[in-house]
Structure 1
């Protein structure tokens, strides 16, 4: 009889045990270095932060990289559980549950170190050529201002070269992205450039958990709890450091 009771008790525990136990969450993102990129350490900064927080919350994870549209569509269909790198959008609440922010993306202007350019409003940049990467969206205000002199280029690297050569006064990029690419440039290039102090725009970065996942609220709650704990115990800062940021 005691053996039978123990067996029944074990079966009952298994039935009511948290869904997180042993569950492997399917993480997905597009290639966006240094945040998400399968060629980088632990899949990039954002993937590392997200994966670490979720593992601390009791979940195993696996990461797959896809073009953005396919990643978002797969999340909506329930083929993936967690979109790693989502800016907030009301439309996306139709397919997923947002976490609290875990990173801030700041789009900042970059100038030559000895340049006198200042920025406290876009009107100050009228008449100053600005290199912009074709197809990029920087902010609604900036993108829609027809008084700005925007010079289209094919890449951030090309934009930097044009700033250094004096062909344009400025370029702009997400600060983490810019620092990632500039870290691969010679020291002389890095020394010749600097960020303007004020950001053009700021966007909070979140995970988005598929509404098809029945444990979405528990996943988000666990993630939020562990990200806060990581910031408190220093492990969050350590991850930024090991990614060179």
Structure 2
């Protein structure tokens, strides 16, 4: 009996104090390079940051990539535990617990080169059709303004090709994401498109932890703490450098 007690005590001493090591978090994201994409090192820079932070917090993780709307639905239905790259909306906050933002997305509008569209406030956009990715949040004011003529599409690549083909007059995306595609899959039309000077918004990027996960607040707190530690010790910046950003 004493031998069993010694064994159990020894086993307990091997376990991390936060007790998270045995907990698998099911991570999900949509293809959104350079932030999340299975074809990129460590599934993209956002995935790399999130996975590193959660690992440092003592969790194990798995990663699945699905279309955006399926990712959000899967979080609601308890198929996944953590959506790794979400902008804040009140609606999502009802079924998910947001972390502090771990990076910032700069959202910019694109037009056909030479279109001479001027933008300084939302009413300036009312005369134009705008391709938007279905299910994405761009900014609260933009998302809620019913006077904007929005055309739903499945991806920025589709939106950019519609813009080039004159089927819409504007589209928008995070600047790094747009440049990633314009330098690769959209290189053939890159010189026909241009950014408007003023960004639409700057949005914080968060993890969104399903409220169906019993320790969702614990995950959020541990993630926030780990990200701050990574900023302090330089590993946060090293991940960006590793991805060429």
Q: TM-score, normalised by structure 1?
A: 0.74
Is the Cα–Cα contact under 8 Å of residues 85 and 207 in structure 1 kept in the other structure? yes
Name the counterpart of 2:93: 93
Displacement of 1:123: 4.5
Where 1:199 maps in the other structure, the secondary structure is: coil
Displacement of 1:13: 5.0
Where 2:199 maps in the other structure, the secondary structure is: strand
Where 2:28 maps in the other structure, the secondary structure is: strand
State the structure with more CA Rg.
1
Relative distance call for 1:86 and 1:134 in structure 2 (3 A) is closer
2:55 is the alignment partner of 1:55: yes
> Tell me, which stretches of 5 or more residues in structure 2 are unaligned?
none
Per-residue CA deviation, residues 32-54 of structure 1 (Å, 9 max, x unaligned), is 33322223322222212111111
In the TM superposition, 1:69-84 aligns within 5 A as 69-84=69-84
Displacement of 1:99: 0.8
Relative distance call for 1:28 and 1:230 in structure 2 (3 A) is same
Is the Cα–Cα contact under 8 Å of residues 131 and 162 in structure 1 kept in the other structure? no
Per-residue CA deviation, residues 144-176 of structure 1 (Å, 9 max, x unaligned), is 464x7889999233256368xxx9875432212
Question: How many pairs align?
Answer: 239
Which segment is superposed worse, 46-55 or 65-74?
A: 65-74
Name the counterpart of 2:242: 242
2:160 is the alignment partner of 1:157: yes
Q: TM-score, normalised by structure 2?
A: 0.74
In the TM superposition, 1:136-147 aligns within 5 A as 138-139=138-139, 141-142=141-142, 144=145, 146=147
> Tell me, which stretches of 5 or more residues in structure 1 are unaligned?
none
Per-residue CA deviation, residues 62-121 of structure 1 (Å, 9 max, x unaligned), is 101233344334333433221112222333333332111112233212357888655322
Name the counterpart of 1:40: 40
Is the Cα–Cα contact under 8 Å of residues 132 and 150 in structure 2 kept in the other structure? no
Displacement of 1:28: 1.3
Tell me how large the CA RMSD over aligned residues is: 3.8
Where 1:198 maps in the other structure, the secondary structure is: coil
